[in-house]
A and B are shown apart, each in its own frame.
Chain A
Amino acid sequence: MTGGAVTGPRFRRDGAWVGASVPRREDPRLLAGRGRFVDDITLPGMLHAQFVRSTVAHGWIRAVDLDEVRAVPGVVAAFSAADLALGDITALLDRPPHEFVPTSMPVLARDKVRFVGEPVAIVIARDPYAAEDGVEAAVVEYEELEPVVGDTAALADGAPLVHAEAPRNTLVDVSLFATEGIDEVFAEAPCVVRVRSKTGRQNALPLETRGVVASWDDRDEQLHVKTNTQIPHQVRTVLARCAGLDEKQVRVTVPDMGGGFGQKCVVGREEIAAAAAALRLRRPVKWIEDRRDALTAAFLAREQRYDVRAAFDADGRILALDADVVCDMGAYSCYPFTAGIEPLMASAEMPSVYRVPAYRVRGRAVTTNKAPTGPYRGVSRPQYVMVVERLMERAARELGLDPVEIRRRNVITVFPYTGVNGITYDPGSYRESLELCERVLREEGWYDLRDTGRVIGIGYACFSERTGYGSGAFAQRRMQVVPGFDISEIRMDVSGTVSVTTGTMSHGQSHETTMAQLVADRLGLDIAQVKVVQGDTDRITYGFGSFASRSITIGGSAVAAAAEKLGAQLKEIAAHLMEVDVDACELDGDGGVRLRDDPDRRLSFAELADVAYLRAHLLPKGVGPGLSATASFDVPGDGTFSNATHGVVVELDPGTGGVEILRYVCVEDCGVAINPKVVDGQCRGGIAQGIAGALFEQVTYDAAGQPLAPSLMEYKVPTASEIPDIAIHHLETPCAFTANGAKGAGEGGTIGAPAAVLNAVNDALRDTGVELDDTPIAREAVFRALEAHRG
């Protein structure tokens, strides 16, 4: 896809594409309504799927009767687990049984249902209306079991078991670090603070819900699955395994995507079931998740309970961190990450941006009768950063220090820094971002306003974010699927234009633009001459898709390396044709190769390609025909860390408990921004989702495990009315080993916002004696705090 007309600044002043806010090549088609999303795809003879879903949170399936379903007008077929007989989805960690209990997620529930909304049968009909009529006609008999609705209940003595193989409903229980002598440190420390925090269950809520169009092709002998996934190759693998196909018999392609945020980064059951139905019926089947199913049965995230203590010396220097983390992972372990994703992330990275000498942590994943969880933008970091930043504020208060000052005394300033968690942090601007953020808020006068009669608070979050986890970093998590590298293939065609593949998968991040910028600079081309190919398992050797802010760091570095190889080939051919040494040639920045000492002598890429393909007899000896190259990239060591400080000003309404954000300042450092405007968009969108977690969104259940937020009336995603203007300032600490020094930028906004907002609210409550540590912040709690104080 070459995109439409490009307007606005195209280059930086020095002529480089990287670093310029090139308008997104995706936008012309998306803004004109000419994008192609899954639901825009219609195939001849296509049928529509809908799912019979469990109405009980926990129970044995005693009977599934679909006879009446099949009699509903418009219904073509209906399948239960027994009818489709698919393999289960199983994600594994290489950890001993006391640390990890493997469980499986059947594509359709077979013997037992474990949450309200779990798919039990699939109904295939002529249209989506008839499919829902069919769903209503299903008769499923359940023998109800006592549901496990919260983490505390899950861990209680004698609790019912969600999975029989998991005692105490515990899927993951790891104690990754325990510094010797830590108890003595706490016993002797002059200042020990503690934060207990519960964070609300959230839905990543991509605007475009999940969906799939699957069809069997007799000529290709292939099941073609068009689905909005962040991980096409992993969907291929799971589908092939579940359906008993070779991987060559499955092709997964991805059209435009309206967001994913991690929810589409795991393999869902519905796309496998719909594809299996298409295979069985030999007719195309479409499934589009509706908003109710998206809110109740899609992969959720973020429901965690923290009990963390921190010891400080009298000067406010942190001495030790002791943490217990319990994550309510819901009914199933997600593929490929497993239920370990949240507790492992929290355990590994909690020391954050601070020099923590002693650290002990226990992280657990418990299973409950709620919709399962998967990764969601930030993965645990919004939560542990919030807790650590609360600890900093609390210690500052106890010690009479300014909240910024206590951070200044603790942030890592000398790099590389190897932490107590064994992770080596590459250079960042932790202190600089903190100081700039505070300076901006002071210069704008917010501190003056804080000291007036209004109930105003200022809060900060200072944090870093490991981006681009390489194979080594994920191997430390002991995942059986270790998604570290990326492979890129670049090819120049006869006309001299280029197509480049990436194993990463844009779900809104503008890869068609940013990856092309990387290639354009490497080859000296206009981005209009670079086509970026993604999301097609038949065209891309292998990829792990996009998550964990890995696209530019890992995928971009592979793209750049492939482009450099191609550039070398072009120079070699040009040197031969111009009868000079290859060192005498250089790319001319205008689609050609020229002589370094005689720039007027040049050969255009089209001329070189003409030789490479159509007159191969002119090629140098030993150089094969064609122009293509493959390169791969994996992150060395522990990866690269982006960082930021967020500063928030809130005003509380004592009469209602209302919380209004008056100012939001983000000072971020993602190394070299390939496209600053795209980075800004990532920051703003991420911050909006972070504010959502701090103040609005929560997936709730009643005592029977029935979801209480099945629509957007109850699940309070904030709108443009609730999200303030966000000021973004950039610092630039380049990464030493990625293409152009870029670090990831996908998640930081989401990570910093809950901490900064919560700290600001607590600052506003500073005279009340009340501290709030749970999110989303209850307006009633704010109201009561201010009411009690004012009498």
Chain B
Amino acid sequence: MKPAPFTYHRARSVSGAVGLLAELGDDAKVIAGGQSLVAMMNFRLARPEHLIDIARIPGLDAIEREDGAALRIGALVTHHAVETADLGPGFRLLPDAMRWIGHLPIRTRGTVGGSLAHADATAEWCLLAVLLDARIVAEGPAGRREIAAADFFQGVFTTALEPDELIVEVVFPRPAPRSALTEFAERKGDFAIVAAAVDLDAARIVLGGVGPVPLRVPRAEAALAAGAAPAEVGAVAAEEIDVRDEPGVSAHYRRGLTRTLVARACEEAQL
């Protein structure tokens, strides 16, 4: 469990990091908190030739609330910083959701940008981004662009980021005072078997653990918009997903968890 040899680069600016990415191409990986990458490197499942450390780039660790109510979170903001931030009632979902992420040591090192770029389909930040119509701000050699969360997650651990692009921040454009995220796993801190996030005002439901990316469930969302009770919304979502039997978790069980968790998220969001 020691990584293969690699060359370490410390980026001092976003443009510096982007320049390194452009120069080193596919052989390079960006590291911030390292909570997923280092474990994969130790198992030699990931073996980048170059590691570009962005952790000390100044200016990427701010949480800002704009006048127009949008929330901007820098890519290097840690889960723990969000967990302990007062973001007001409109964004209380974000700190609340952080408690589902791993354990405290992981939350103190893992970053928002890293979680989005890693794109685990059960990761809380990925669900939240899709739920809240977040825009992921990426910088590449041609400058900055914004990618809608709906377009960002493209497949298993695959995003719309170009190899020479770096996430610099994520923008949550609208508050969601009546929203909730809940999960089920056997142990606290594990990746969820199923995770469900609900925004009642947007009639939006996003699921983790039922597909390669965070998935919306349009029929359940329609039921929610039509005023269906939480249990009914959950039942529709459970019917709607396309899941298969897997070792240890049958499709039936995953549907059952979906039914329960969507209903519970709807109930929690009303509180």
B1 contacts chain A at the CB level, 8 A cutoff:
yes
Q: Range of interface residues on chain A? A: 20 to 34
Which of chain A's residues has its CB closest to B183's CB? A656
Q: Which residue of B1, B4, B186 contacts A779 across the interface (Cβ within 8 Å)? A: B186
Among B135-143, B221-229, B253-261, the stretch in contact with A? B253-261
**Other-chain contact of A721, B44, B188, B253, B257 (Cβ < 8 Å):** B188
- Do A716 and B43 contact each other (CB < 8 Å), given the known contacts A133-B4, A787-B256? no
Alpha-carbon gap, A695 to B186, bound state (A) = 9
* A722 CB–B CB distance under 8 Å: yes
The one of B3, B43, B184, B190 in contact with A656, judged by C-beta atoms closer than 8 angstroms, is B184
A160 to B132: give the CA distance in the assembly, Å. Answer: 57
CA distance A373 to B101 in the complex (A): 35
**B249 near A129: Cβ-Cβ < 8 Å:** no
In angstroms, Cα B1 to Cα A292, docked, is 7
Residues of B within 8 A of A133 (CB): 4-5
Residue from A136, A656, A695 within 8 A of B260 (CB atoms): A656
Contact B188–A719 (Cβ < 8 Å): yes
Which of B187, B259, B264: most chain A Cβ within 10 A?
A: B187
Contact call B1/A291, Cβ cutoff below 8 A: yes
Contacts of B263 in A (CB 8 A): 655
Asked if residues B256 and A783 are in contact (CB atoms below 8 Å), the reply is: yes
* Interface membership of A430, Cβ < 8 A: no
| Structural contact, A721 and B260, CB atoms closer than 8 A | no
Q: Are B43 and A711 in contact (CB under 8 A)?
A: yes
Complex-state Cα separation, A132 to B259, whole angstroms: 46
Q: How far is the CA of A721 from the CA of B1 in the complex (A)?
A: 27
Smallest CB–CB gap between B19 and chain A, Å?
Answer: 28
Tell me how far the C-beta of A31 lies from the nearest C-beta in chain B, rounded to whole angstroms. 19
> Taking the complex as formed, is B191 at the interface, i.e. its CB lies under 8 A from any CB of chain A?
yes
Cβ–Cβ contact B5 & A718, under 8 A? no
Q: Which residues of B contact A658 (CB under 8 A)?
A: 184, 186
Most A Cβ at <10 Å: residue of B44, B189, B247, B248: B248
Q: Which residues of A contact B184 (CB under 8 A)?
A: 656, 658
Among A129, A136, A716, A784, point to the contact of B186 (Cβ < 8 A): A716
- Proximity bits, A749-786, B CB within 8 Å = 1, else 0: 00000000000000000000000000000111001100
Query: Could you say which residues of chain A place their CB within 8 Å of the CB of B39?
Result: 711
Is the Cβ of A716 less than 8 Å from the Cβ of B190? yes
CB-defined contacts of A780 to chain B, threshold 8 Å: 248-250, 253
Distance in angstroms between the alpha carbons of A132 and B186 in the assembled complex: 33
Q: Is A299 an interface residue when CB atoms closer than 8 A count as contact?
A: no
Whether B253 pairs with A657 at a CB distance below 8 angstroms is yes
For B189, the chain A residues whose CB sits under 8 A away are 719, 721
Q: What is the minimal beta-carbon distance from A571 to any residue of chain B, in angstroms?
A: 57
A713 on the B face (CB < 8 A): yes
If the complex has contacts A290-B1, A713-B191, A787-B256, are A655 and B186 also in contact, measured as CB distance less than 8 A? no
Cβ of B5: which chain A residues have Cβ within 8 Å of it? 129, 133
- Are A713 and B186 closer than 8 Å at their CB atoms? no
Are A655 and B187 in contact, with the CB atoms below 8 A? no
Across the interface, which residues of A come within 8 angstroms of B186, CB to CB?
658, 695-696, 716, 779
Contact with A along B77-89 (1 / 0, CB 8 A): 0000000000000
Distance (Å) between the CB of A242 and the closest chain B CB?
27
User: Is the CB–CB distance between A718 and B187 below 8 Å?
Assistant: yes
B47's closest neighbor in chain A, by CB? A136
Contact of A136 with B44 in the complex, beta carbons under 8 Å: yes
Complex-state Cα separation, A713 to B187, whole angstroms: 10
The answer to the question of B244 belonging to the interface, with a C-beta cut-off of 8 Å to chain A, is no
B103 on the A face (CB < 8 A):
yes
A746 interface contact, C-beta 8 A = no
Q: For the complex, give the distance between the alpha carbons of A270 and B136 in Å.
A: 49
Contacts of A290 in B (CB 8 A): 1-2
Query: In the complex the two chains form, what is the Cα distance from A294 to B86 in whole Å?
Result: 42
**Contact mask A681-699 → B, CB, 8 Å, 1/0?**
0000000000000011000
A780–B4 Cα distance when bound, in Å, is 39
Instruction: Find out whether the CB atom of B256 lies under 8 angstroms from the CB atom of A129.
Output: no
Neighbouring A residues of B260 by C-beta, 8 Å: 655-656
Complex contact B264–A655 (CB within 8 A): yes
- Rounded to whole angstroms, the CA-CA distance of A695 and B185 in the bound complex is 12
The 4 A-B residue pairs whose C-beta atoms are closest, nearest first, are A655-B260, A721-B188, A290-B1, A780-B253
Give B residues with C-beta under 8 Å from A: 1-5, 39, 43-44, 103, 184, 186-191, 247-250, 252-253, 256-257, 259-261, 263-264
Sample of 14 A–B contacts (CB below 8 Å): A129-B3, A132-B1, A132-B2, A133-B4, A292-B1, A656-B184, A695-B186, A700-B247, A711-B39, A719-B103, A719-B188, A721-B188, A778-B248, A784-B252
A-B contacts besides A713-B191, A780-B248, 10 pairs, CB < 8 Å = A129-B2, A132-B44, A133-B4, A133-B5, A136-B44, A290-B1, A656-B184, A695-B186, A716-B187, A721-B189
